[in-house]
């Protein structure tokens, strides 16, 4: 019979008994400390205070003082040509009365009243067509033939450098009469105005509390242009400005909500710039050519009452 099987239990028992019989080093240390503490109390000796860390002896943090950890997130938008960047940094300064600034060309990035060195650098990237500043996000729009794989790293680098340097993203200057600048109103179009009627006040409140947050989530913003004969005039900004689904957003989303809560509202009109109207008409002509090639019975590619096919030539 092998002897290993008999020796193993005995050795284990012996080691256990030895551990119980002999106190450990930590047990002896504890007993010595306890006896010294008891003796000091019996002799009325003052106890020494525990050593405390000095304020300047704290452990070093992950980054040295003066260095800001920058973490930039990106979010996709309904517009495939627009990308939203969240630098965890206040983009539009508090002294700007409007919640957004839109740069549509390189000249607008250096013109008053809100020139931006960062926007100028972003607009210099090949393929970038516009830069939009929201309260705490930046939306960059590219041309359809540009690729995000080539553009995104440059955008990341420029935003990181601008924030790390501590330079203001927007500079407030005085605009001279007749000088062109950014697409930004002198004040927030949704802010309260004592001259507004009760209906206009309700429209602004609904746009501010229910509609603007959703549009800002998509990398854009909304601008109130007026209310006349039951129709609300609105202007979409940022990623929503050039989005193909902007008409659907206005009609199915914004118009439906306004008409549901405010009975005086009959509909919503989208206000477009001259360039947008030209592009819309050109696209309508292109659709007309496609239908002519396919035949008169061909279905429109964008059906609906307010589709591109119904735009007057």
DSSP string, 71-98: --EEEE-SSTTEEEEE-SS--S-TT-SS
- What predicted TM-score, i.e. pTM, was given to this entire model? 0.65
Q: Using one digit for the tens of pLDDT, what is the confidence trace for 18-47?
A: 444 444 444 554 455 455 555 545 555 555
CA–CA distance, 224 with 129 (Å, rounded to integer): 24
What is 185-198 written as a DSSP string?
-SS-TTS--TTS-H
Tokens of 310: 């119904």
Q: What is the pLDDT of residue 176?
A: 63
Of residues 276, 247, 70, 289, the one with CA closest to residue 159: 70
d(CA 169, CA 118) in angstroms, rounded, equals 6
Q: Which of 174, 175, 120, 122 is nearest to 153 (CA)?
A: 122
Give the pLDDT confidence score for residue 31 in this predicted structure.
57
Provide φ and ψ at 223, rounded to 5°. Answer: -130, 130
pLDDT(58) > 60: no
Burial category of 255 from C-beta neighbours within 10 Å (exposed 0-12, middle 13-18, buried 19 and up): buried
Question: What pLDDT, on the 0 to 100 scale, is given for residue 177?
Answer: 54
Beta bridge partners of 220: 238
**pLDDT confidence tier of residue 16, bands split at 50, 70 and 90:** very low
Of 164, 144, 140, 163, the C-alpha closest to 152 is 140
Cα–Cα distance between 110 and 94 in angstroms, integer? 20
Residues 169 and 80: beta-carbon distance below 8 Å: no
Mean pLDDT, residues 95-100 taken together: 90
| pLDDT at residue 57 in the model | 42
pLDDT at 181: 56
**CA dihedral defined by 84, 90, 95, 100, rounded to 10 degrees?**
10
| Mean local confidence (pLDDT), 121-149 | 96
Determine which of 30-34, 97-101, 131-135, 301-305 has the lowest per-residue pLDDT on average.
301-305
13 or 178, which is more confident: 178
Residue 292 pLDDT level (bands cut at 50, 70, 90):
confident
Comparing CA positions, the residue from 214, 269, 267, 262 lying closest to residue 78 is: 214
Average pLDDT score over the chain? 77
Segment 262-272 shows an average pLDDT of: 92
Using a pLDDT cut of 70, give the percent of the chain over it.
Answer: 64
In which band, very low, low, confident or very high, does the pLDDT at 85 lie, cut at 50, 70 and 90? very high
The mean-pLDDT minimum among 17-31, 118-132, 179-193, 203-217 falls in 17-31
Structure-token pair, residue 268: 């919503």
């Amino acid at each position: 019979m092998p002897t290993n099987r008999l020796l193993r239990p005995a050795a284990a028992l012996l080691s256990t008994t030895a551990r119980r019989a002999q106190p450990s080093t930590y047990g002896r240390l504890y007993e010595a400390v306890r006896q010294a503490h008891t003796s000091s109390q019996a002799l009325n000796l003052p106890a020494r205070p525990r050593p405390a860390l000095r304020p300047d002896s704290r452990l070093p943090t992950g980054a040295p003082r003066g260095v800001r950890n920058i973490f930039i997130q990106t979010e996709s938008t309904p517009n495939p040509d627009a990308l939203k960047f969240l630098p965890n940094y206040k983009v539009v300064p508090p002294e700007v009365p409007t919640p957004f600034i839109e740069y549509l060309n390189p000249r607008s990035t250096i013109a008053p009243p809100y020139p931006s060195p960062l926007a100028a650098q972003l607009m210099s990237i090949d393929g970038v067509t516009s830069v939009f500043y929201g309260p705490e996000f930046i939306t960059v729009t590219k041309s359809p033939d540009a690729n995000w794989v080539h553009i995104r790293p440059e955008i990341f680098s420029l935003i990181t450098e601008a924030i790390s340097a501590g330079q203001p993203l927007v500079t407030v200057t005085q605009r001279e009469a007749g000088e062109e600048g950014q697409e930004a109103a002198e004040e927030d179009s949704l802010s309260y105005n004592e001259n507004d009627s009760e209906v206009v006040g309700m429209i602004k409140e609904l746009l501010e509390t229910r509609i603007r947050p959703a549009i800002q989530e998509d990398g854009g913003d909304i601008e109130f242009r007026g209310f006349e004969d039951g129709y609300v005039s609105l202007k979409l900004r940022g990623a929503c400005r050039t989005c193909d689904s902007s008409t659907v957003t206005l009609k199915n989303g914004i118009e439906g909500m306004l008409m549901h809560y405010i009975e005086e509202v009959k509909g919503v009109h989208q206000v477009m710039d001259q360039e947008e109207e030209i592009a819309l008409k050109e696209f309508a002509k292109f659709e007309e050519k496609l239908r002519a090639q396919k035949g008169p019975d061909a279905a429109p590619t964008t059906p609906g009452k307010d589709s591109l096919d119904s735009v007057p030539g």
